[in-house]
Structure 1
Amino acid sequence: MPLTPHTRPLTAADAAHLLRRTAFGGTQAQTRALTGRDAREVARERLAFTDAAAPGNPFDPTDAATPGAGVQLTRAAWLFELLYGPHPLRERLALAWSNHFVIGTDKVRNVPMLASYLALLRRHAATGDFTRFALEVAQSPAMLRYLDNAQNRRGKPNENFSRELLELFTTGIGHYTEDDVREGARALTGWTYEGGRGNKNYLEETRFVFRPAQHDAGRKTYLGHGGNLTGEDVVRLAATHPQTATFVARKLHRAFVRDTPDERAVAASAETWRRTNGNVRAVLEELLGSEVFYAPENRSAVIRSPVEFIVGAVRALGQPKLEPKQILNLAQTAGKMGQLLLQPDTVKGWDGGREWINDSTLLTRMQVAAALTLGPQAPQLAEPPSLLALLGSERPPLTAALDGLGPKQRTYLALISPEFQLA
């Protein structure tokens, strides 16, 4: 059975909830603009991305003088897009996919390689074809470099990517065998890339290449299918495996519904996934317009990650212009709080949820909130944000405690409140 649609017109609290989950938050005016609308129609509109980017991005990674500087500028450029871009849901999804199809800048330091990877995540953010998405990721130089498939050749197979394709990107643990990993690695031999190798070539363009002489063309058996399977074959078989629908749908529920998803709701989304042949856009449209999404028990049920906290604060403030140095510092500060863009902790990504919160990270969140509201470099606001924009309710429990305070103090206390840490 598909998820039950939310049929009532959106209330102000509903609209605020939707913006917190799909746009990192929003202003009073943005919330009011959605009030009274149909939930499914709004979900459909928000998923209608273009390739438009935030104007005036001051960060150009191709200006970097070193590989490390290129990585830093790439992070800052992405944070600028997260803060000011016209499609926050596209960027929200790209952030989620970067925690699914993981690469890391500890190994991937080529600027065009990183740019191509981010463009791929955006292009497929709400993909209609998960199999195509998985194939393009598998053939991206960033992934070939990160999981060593560029060194995978006949007679000397490298199993790193073959293993993670199953364990982390598609079926999940328990739905494949070690033979599948070995046979998949054989099928993926000969997939490599040209260009951008070595520290001196960090600005050189890269491209996927297939080297037939390095490919094992023998018969293979993979996930119950036999034949002279190619790399394309094993990616397709993994991406269309029935369990992949459940595995990836669960991740979407963790990102948009709650940190500990209801497995019945996950199963309903997995059914939609299978029915639409891996159409992520269809799954998301149903999910974001459902009773499950708007259920009271699923509100304030996702702990904001460090990046989501920073971006949510700036968007709730009305997206005031920050200086480039401030944005560079915020990108590094997100790392201090446990989420350095393009550098998850391990290949399985950030665990998220309760792992985002400890004494040290809470203190850093307070420091970020103070810098944005009370500090000497705090942006000057035309008007302070409303409690609806900050906390998702016109009369939150904190109202009495905040009454009588000045706008800056009121905004600061709202940003450090438990209510703001949750989306």
Structure 2
Amino acid sequence: MKRTKQSDQAKHLYSRATFGVHYSEFEKLSDMSVRKAVRRLFEQAEADDPLTEVTELLQRPPREDNPTEEEIKDYLRRRNEQERSVNIAWMRRLAETKAPLLEKMTLFWHGHFACRMNDGYYLQQLNNVQRKNALGNFRTLLLEVAKAPAMLSFLNNQQNKKGHPNENFARELMELFTLGRGHYTENDIKQSARAFTGWQYKGKTGEFFYNVRQHDTDTKTFFEKTGNFSGEDIIDMILAKKQTAYFISEKIYKFFVNDSPDPGHVKELADVFYKSGYEVKPLVEKMFTSEWFYDQKNVGNKIKSPVELLTGLNRQFSIRYENPAVLLQLQRSMGQALFYPPNVAGWPGGQNWIDSSSLLTRMKLPSLLLNGGVIDTGGKADPEDEAFIAAAKRQQLKVERRVKTQPGWDIFLKDIPSDVKLSELAYFLIAGDPERHSLNSIGTGSIRSMVLQLLSTPEYQLC
């Protein structure tokens, strides 16, 4: 594969905007201009099929019926089954989707509007709201999220009633979803909470409804303006502040570009976002077509999230799992389980993905999934790696019992030239410039052997 400026740009674009590409696809992309490649991603993203794994609401046994211990156990079993099902369904979608940019943006909004709830149907519904609006209008997305049963329940707006306002949703709306800290007052929170009173959902159907009897119709003062404001009014007043456009743009920049934002670049994005009326697509298009997106300082510098790491391997090698529930175990062991954010702020990301516990799992993941838990030691091992390799060998039998996979090596290898060089494989698999990294510890041999060794390097943890 001939390395060119276009191939460098295509490689970086697809490592950030998607979860990686197959070798044959990468060769085609290497001849495309950035604008054509970005346009291709948006065209693919027009397919927004919702998840449909969980088909019915989870009904809790009525308290007044004094449910038996068996009925309670059955409810908990069905609840846990639903939560596993929606997690596995999305992981499968991430691995197989033909609209990778759409799913990557859905993953971003999943962390931005972090939510936990013991009902897989409502979690799936919220996920579909985020997918449907992932590249659409932010105001529409924000309103639909605010009215989703999962968020109404998680942030206690279901209990937000006239005379007894609950401030949880109003606070997080401004602190985490739109403005960021320091751009509102405590009184703004109190007043806006009153505007959202009566926003509820029907427990038996999950349908949103505006409970007029529970809504506070008295005058409210918000952002130094006074009126009988509704929840929609509050959202519009928040969006009128350009700080909201800047806050969202900065967060998207951190997710796709660099953990350390460039204020000038973020302002460029915020200007486009604000002037478009909060359309997400123009913002993302501006980001991916800007020259600074491809600057060396922004290439190969981000640590893959656990879901990105796992999805990249699943897509690249068409991995099938004998017991798909192990996907949830792998996510938890690395610190990011879909639909299980640590709190309302979501996952902190960046260097927080790496600690002494998760690093071992991350480093052995490729071998775990592609080689039966065996780390290929055909190459030279650095001294500091020897203990890791020895520990992994001791765990081999235990690992094989827990994780049984069927990797599609044939699918992966059919497009790779039989005479491919180690440097070419490194260029394809490792983010950034492989010449910046030492390949001395990688032994030449079969393609499969070289691939496994490259995937087990620290550099593969980056995108």
TM-score, normalization by structure 1? 0.88
Deviates more, 1:161-170 or 1:12-21: 12-21
The equivalent position to 2:335 in structure 1, one of 312, 334, 338, is 338
- Find the residue that maps to 2:200 and give its secondary structure: strand
AA at the equivalent of 1:350: W
Q: How far apart, in 1, do the equivalents of 2:132 and 2:109 lie? A: 11
The equivalent position to 2:105 in structure 1, one of 87, 93, 98, is 93
- Find the residue that maps to 1:99 and give its secondary structure: helix
- Partner deviation per Cα, 1:216-256 (whole Å, 9 max, x = no partner): 01111112332110011112222332111111101110111
Q: How far apart, in 2, do the equivalents of 1:25 and 1:40 lie? A: 18
- Partner deviation per Cα, 1:78-135 (whole Å, 9 max, x = no partner): 000011111111111111101111111xxx12232112101111011111x2111111
Tell me if the contact between 1:62 and 1:111 (Cα under 8 Å) persists in the aligned partners.
no
Tell me if the contact between 2:6 and 2:34 (Cα under 8 Å) persists in the aligned partners.
no
Tell me if the contact between 1:112 and 1:206 (Cα under 8 Å) persists in the aligned partners.
no
Q: How far apart, in 2, do the equivalents of 1:366 and 1:90 lie? A: 28
Identical amino acids, percent of aligned pairs: 33
Matches within 5 A, 1:129-168: 129-168=137-176
Match of 2:47 in 1: 51
State how many pairs are aligned: 397
- Find the residue that maps to 1:47 and give its secondary structure: helix
1:69 matched to 2:64? The reply is no
For residue 398 of structure 1, report the CA deviation from its aligned partner: 4.5
1:308 matched to 2:316? The reply is no
Match of 2:128 in 1: 119
Q: How far apart, in 2, do the equivalents of 1:87 and 1:336 lie? A: 28
Tell me if the contact between 1:53 and 1:81 (Cα under 8 Å) persists in the aligned partners.
no
Match of 1:371 in 2: 368
- Partner deviation per Cα, 1:308-330 (whole Å, 9 max, x = no partner): 0111122233xx241351x3212
Match of 1:278 in 2: 278
Distance of aligned partners of 1:122 and 1:41 in 2 relative to their CA distance in 1, 3 Å threshold: same
**Higher alpha-carbon Rg:** 2
For residue 52 of structure 1, report the CA deviation from its aligned partner: 5.0
Match of 1:82 in 2: 94
For residue 273 of structure 1, report the CA deviation from its aligned partner: 1.2
Match of 1:25 in 2: 20
- Find the residue that maps to 2:208 and give its secondary structure: strand
Tell me if the contact between 2:319 and 2:406 (Cα under 8 Å) persists in the aligned partners.
no
Tell me if the contact between 2:366 and 2:452 (Cα under 8 Å) persists in the aligned partners.
yes
The equivalent position to 2:177 in structure 1, one of 161, 165, 169, is 169
User: What do you get for the CA RMSD once the two structures are aligned?
Assistant: 2.1
Q: How far apart, in 2, do the equivalents of 1:413 and 1:321 lie? A: 18
Distance of aligned partners of 1:321 and 1:364 in 2 relative to their CA distance in 1, 3 Å threshold: closer
For residue 157 of structure 1, report the CA deviation from its aligned partner: 0.3
AA at the equivalent of 1:122: R
Q: How far apart, in 2, do the equivalents of 1:215 and 1:272 lie? A: 36
The unaligned stretches of length 5 or more in structure 1 are 1-8, 197-204
Q: How far apart, in 2, do the equivalents of 1:53 and 1:364 lie? A: 32
- Find the residue that maps to 2:320 and give its secondary structure: coil
For residue 142 of structure 1, report the CA deviation from its aligned partner: 0.9
Q: Which runs of 4+ in 1 moved over 6 A?
A: none
TM-score, normalization by structure 2? 0.81
Match of 2:394 in 1: none
Deviates more, 1:361-370 or 1:347-356: 361-370
Match of 2:297 in 1: 297
- Find the residue that maps to 1:137 and give its secondary structure: helix
Q: How far apart, in 1, do the equivalents of 2:439 and 2:286 lie? A: 34
